[in-house]
Structure 1
């Protein structure tokens, strides 16, 4: 009876980790739809319409974004596959989630440096 409860607990834990990994993967690929800093909506004399704000921030900001975004995607994808196929070692999955969170925070900080006229929530 004790082995059955242990097995059910592990299956429940695996299911929970799969949900978390799926949400992380979904958030990871959101960047393709919404570039950092948003998109210029209006076309005026000093800015072009339909251009990503990060492109006007300079090469340094683009380099930071191009390094952190693939790392974040890689960690999210590895977490998803690891939870899907191997499912054990929740400590490693938690470490991967922590790494992804660290990359996300660094990316948000670099966005704030790139676009100081916007606050961190994205409103003007």
Structure 2
């Protein structure tokens, strides 16, 4: 989800259970290095490999790029989200970029979304190997 603080800052978070829902941990999702304090929000989530992958956006309205969070759940090591800012057409650059749906099939994660400017909107399809 995305929390909006009293100061108006958007903070992405996840609730994770490693014991079938008996207890839950609330984790703030890390900002990607490129975000540097820019607003961040969650747009999609999927179970993938031994954990989860989430996508979101960061930046200001009209100038947002994609962020990808990965969580590997390991009983002995606990949980830790990592953030990445992918480059490429439909993921970063001028305009608004978002991956709004995710699905895992086998060892491949597929996301769909869009790239938009004031003049146009184009669909985006993104694929990646599942990261464990």
TM-score band, normalised by shorter chain: under 0.3
Select the structure that is richer in helix.
1
Select the structure that is richer in strand.
2
| TM-score normalised by the chain length of structure 2 | 0.23
| TM-score normalised by the chain length of structure 1 | 0.24
